[in-house]
């Protein structure tokens, strides 16, 4: 059975197809290509130089969903990459070793520049060291983002990132693209980003309704696609979120649940908040476990990995470099443990969640470190049921349906016991 699609999903698929088509034609068009990461990405800046972005994480994610990651990971391990290395890295390296064929079946072009923005994940730096070996002719730009150790963004840290943008990143983009930096062009894209971010916040905040018209985890990974990847700062991105919000508002009005692969969820039994990324190799099977139990995710930290807008941050044309610095430092994986716990508490209370679940990822330390502390702290603060499961991003060897199902059955049983008892009268 095909996944049920709404107009917004169809539009997103078209946007992605057009993007990969553009990438496949760079030899003819002469456009330059930047490889970069989702957390702390500088998409608006890339487009201000008329360049095209490629995201190695997204390549790995899509390879996992297309059941290709097993072979890519094996290829990387045979080339000497350890079993303990992040499965995104091994999948991406294996994909390159096998020709770097993208999700549309077309070969992805090599990068003209490797743009690394470090946002709480040390693996990113090692990943780009390896990419530099694959592409020795590519320019490399390192944007170091200070970690929010103190729990807030320091003024000095903002200036530090701005100076790097001004003195290191932008000059390298000018060199690679052959174009001078256009501050007005960047400012226009920042305003478009802010418009899309306004709409996305409305979409996620719709989870306060009962039933929730969205699933903020499984459905949420589709919602964040355009804004966290290749389209933030574009008119098409804003149009996508207008369409998405219209669909969500329709479901609110009709008191309908979220769309699942098997249609609209008709019986919302449990409202959950989740910490950690989903598993991509068994994505639909994983989702099905929840929607067959009537479980809806009303909050998710993974859908904030590419930027947190719930607390008011928006990209701004008033001081674009400052705005980009604040954005990079505010990403979820760049926040300290107390900040992450506070954000989860906000989701649980604002969206009236019945329970909290951790999906711990075997090969992702930037997410998994501290998750047991988060779980126990939230259980104590809010006195809600908590659950813990383990999978991996794109390595199918670490997805055990029976183990996950057994743990979740116990979790759902605990949730069911906490449900208020209706009086006989």
57: left (phi over 0), alpha (psi -120 to 50) or beta: alpha
In a domain, 315, yes or no: no
- Which of 340, 364, 405, 212 lies closest to 280, judged by CA? 364
Whether residue 343 lies inside any domain: the answer is: no
Say if 419 falls within a structural domain: no
Q: What is the DSSP string of 108-125?
A: PPPPSEEEEEESS-THHH
* pLDDT computed for residue 229 by the predictor: 86
Whether 397 is in a domain gets the answer: no
**Residue range(s) defining the domain that contains residue 125:** 7-182
Burial of 322 (0-12, 13-18, 19+ CB in 10 A): middle
Instruction: Say if residues 220 and 204 touch (Cβ distance below 8 Å).
Output: yes
| Farthest CA pair distance, the chain | 77
pTM equals 0.94
- The torsion of the CA quartet 313, 191, 33, 78, rounded to 10 degrees, works out to 20
Q: Report the pLDDT value the prediction gives residue 424, as an integer from 0 to 100.
A: 44
Pick the closest to residue 333 from 307, 372, 363 (CA basis): 307
User: Is there a domain that residue 23 lies in?
Assistant: yes
Structural domain tally of the chain? Answer: 1
Question: What local confidence, expressed as pLDDT, does residue 1 receive?
Answer: 40
- Quote the pLDDT of residue 386: 97
Position 359 scores a pLDDT of: 96
Closest-CA residue to 18 (of 111, 100, 104): 104
CB count, 10 Å around CB of 133? 8
Please check whether residue 149 lies inside any domain of the structure: yes
* CATH number of the domain within which 109 lies: 3.40.50.11890
Residue 292 CA to residue 267 CA, distance in Å, equals 9
Residue 262: strand pairing partners: none
User: What is d(CA 100, CA 92) in angstroms, rounded to the nearest whole number?
Assistant: 8
pLDDT digit string (tens) for the chain, length 425 residues:
455 568 898 999 999 999 999 999 999 999 999 999 999 999 999 999 999 999 999 999 999 999 999 999 999 999 999 888 899 999 999 999 999 998 788 899 999 999 998 887 888 888 988 999 999 999 999 999 999 888 999 999 999 999 999 999 999 999 999 999 999 999 999 999 999 999 999 999 999 999 999 999 999 999 999 999 899 999 999 999 999 999 999 999 999 999 999 999 999 999 999 999 999 999 999 999 999 999 999 999 999 999 999 999 999 999 999 999 999 999 999 999 999 999 999 999 999 999 999 999 988 887 888 999 999 999 999 999 999 999 999 999 999 999 999 999 999 999 999 876 544 44
Two tokens, residue 386: 């908590």
Which single residue is written with the structure tokens 């990324």? 277
| Residue 349: inside a domain | no
295-300 vs 270-275, strand pairing mode = parallel
pLDDT of residue 364: 85
For residue 211, whether the previous peptide bond is cis, meaning omega lies within 30 degrees of 0, is yes
Neighbours of 374 (CB within 10 A): 21
Q: How far apart are CA 296 and CA 211, in angstroms?
A: 9
Residue 124: the pLDDT is 85
Query: Is 124 within the bounds of a domain?
Result: yes
Question: What is the per-residue burial (b if ≥16 Cβ within 10 Å, else e) of 281-300?
Answer: bbbeebbebbbebbbbbbbb
* Closest C-alpha to 65, from 55, 77, 57: 57
Tokens, residue 355: 């329970």
What's the pLDDT at 123?
85
């Amino acid at each position: 059975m095909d996944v049920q699609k709404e107009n917004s999903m169809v539009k997103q698929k078209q946007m992605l197809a057009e993007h990969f088509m553009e990438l496949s034609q760079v030899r003819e068009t002469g456009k330059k290509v930047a490889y970069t990461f989702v957390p702390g990405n500088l998409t608006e800046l890339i487009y201000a130089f008329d360049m095209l972005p490629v995201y190695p994480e997204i390549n790995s994610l899509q390879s996992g969903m297309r059941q290709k990651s097993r072979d890519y990971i094996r290829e990387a391990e045979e080339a000497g990459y350890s079993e303990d290395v992040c499965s995104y890295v091994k999948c991406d390296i294996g994909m390159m070793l096998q020709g770097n064929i993208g999700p549309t079946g077309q070969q992805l072009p090599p990068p003209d520049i490797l743009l690394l923005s470090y946002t709480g994940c040390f693996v990113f730096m090692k990943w780009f060291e390896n990419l530099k070996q694959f592409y020795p002719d590519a320019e490399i730009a390192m944007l170091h983002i200070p970690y929010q150790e103190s729990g807030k963004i320091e003024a000095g840290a903002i200036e530090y990132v701005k100076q790097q943008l001004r003195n290191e990143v932008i000059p390298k983009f000018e060199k690679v693209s052959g174009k001078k930096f256009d501050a007005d062009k960047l400012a226009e894209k920042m305003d478009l980003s802010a418009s899309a971010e306004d709409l996305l916040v409305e979409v996620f905040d719709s989870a306060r309704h009962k039933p929730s018209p969205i699933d903020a985890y499984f459905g949420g990974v589709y919602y964040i696609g355009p804004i966290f990847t290749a389209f933030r700062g574009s008119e098409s991105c804003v149009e996508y979120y207008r369409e998405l919000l219209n669909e969500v508002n329709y479901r609110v009005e009709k008191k309908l649940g979220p769309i699942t692969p098997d249609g609209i969820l008709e019986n919302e039994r449990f409202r959950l908040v989740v910490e950690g990324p989903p598993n991509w190799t068994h994505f639909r099977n994983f989702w099905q476990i929840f929607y067959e139990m009537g479980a809806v995710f009303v909050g998710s930290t993974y859908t904030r990995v590419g930027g947190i807008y719930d607390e008011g941050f928006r990209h701004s044309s008033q001081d674009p470099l400052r705005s980009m610095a604040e954005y990079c430092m505010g990403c979820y994986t760049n926040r300290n443990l107390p900040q992450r716990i506070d954000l989860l508490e906000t989701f649980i209370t604002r969206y009236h969640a019945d329970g909290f679940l951790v999906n711990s990822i075997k090969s992702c330390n930037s997410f998994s470190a501290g998750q047991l502390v988060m779980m126990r702290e939230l259980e104590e603060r809010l006195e809600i049921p908590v659950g813990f499961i383990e999978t991996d991003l794109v390595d199918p060897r670490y997805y055990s349906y029976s183990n996950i199902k057994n743990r979740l059955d116990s979790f759902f049983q605990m949730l069911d016991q906490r449900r208020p008892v209706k009086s006989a009268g």
